[in-house]
Amino acid sequence: TTFRVGGPARLFLEIATQEELKSTIQLLNDAGETYYLLGNGSNLLVSDKGDDGIILHLAKEFNHIEIKDNHIMYCEAGATLAAIARVALAQSLTGFEFAAGIPGTLGGAVVMNAGAYDGEMKQVITSVRLMTPQGEIVEKSCEEMHFAYRHSLLKEEAYIVLGAFIQLERGQQEEIRLKMEDLAARRKDKQPLEYPSAGSTFKRPEGYFAAKLIQDAGLRGFQCGGAQVSEKHCGFVINRGQATAAEVEELMRRVQEKVEQEFQVRLEPEVRRLGEFS
C-alpha cells in the first residue's frame, strides 16, 4: 500500500484474465470465502496483523487502454490513472488532466469516484463494465453508477470493475501537457509527496475543508509514534518512516475527536481499512 504499513494477506491472488476472475470468484463463493479486490493500494490502511481474507489483484490483461471512436477511451480496471492520462495526452484528448497525479488504478477510481482539482470520474465516464458475484458481465451507465462525492454503486453492490468508457474532447497537445505539468507542480508544492500516505485522509465535510479544521484545531504536525499530521498539508496523515497501522489509526481517531470537540464536525475517513483493528 502507499502508506507502506500493514501485515500480510492470508492469500494474495494475481488474476490475469477475465476467465480467471470468473472462475476464481465462483470458487471462492462456493467455498464461502470472502475476498477483497485490491487496486493500487493507494487509499487503504491494512492492519498490522494483515487480513484473514483473500486478496485479489487484477494484473496482466487488465491494464489495456484502447482508443475508440468519437474521442472515447476504454480503459481496463488495472490501468493506472497516470497511464490513462499519458495516452490521452499522446492522442491530444483533454478532460482527464485532473486525474494524472492520482496514484490509483481505474478500478479503484471508479469505486470511490476519485477526483482532484475540480474534476471527478463521473464527469468523464459514460459507462462501466462490471462483473457480478455470479461471474456475469454487465454494463452500467454513468447515471446507474450512482456517483456522488467519494461514492458509487460499488459501495452498495458487490460488483467488480472490469473497465470503463471515458469520454474526452479533442484538444491542443501542448495545452494539455502544460495543464498536467501545472497540476503536478501544484501537487508537489502543496502535498507531502516525499512521505508515504494515502492522500487526503478525510472526506470533505459539507460546508468545510477537512485540512482547515485540522489546522485550526492546532493539529499541524501532531504525531502518534511514526504517524504524523503533515506540516505541509494538514489533510494528509503521513508515515514518517517507521509508523504502524495502529499508530495511523490512533492518529486518525484523535484527529476526529479533537476536531469534533472544537467545531462539532465529525470527520469521516476517506481511507478504507482492511483487517482487524482494536
Q: For residues 250 and 35, what is the distance between their CA atoms, to the nearest angstrom?
A: 26
Select which of 76, 97, 129, 150 is catalytic.
Answer: 150
270 as an active site residue: the answer is yes
Select which of 42, 152, 200, 230 is catalytic.
Answer: 200
CA dihedral 62, 180, 165, 71 (to 10 degrees): -120
CB-count exposure of residue 207 (10 Å: 0-12, 13-18, 19+): exposed
**What secondary structure letter does DSSP report for 34?**
-
CA atoms within a 13 Å half-sphere pointing along the CA-CB vector of 133: 11
DSSP output for 166-227: EE-EE--HHHHHHHHHHHHHHHHHHS-TTS-EEEE-B---TTS-HHHHHHHTT-TT-EETTE
33 as an active site residue: the answer is no
266 as an active site residue: the answer is no
- Which residues sit opposite 249 in a β-bridge? none
The residues that are catalytic are 150, 200, 270
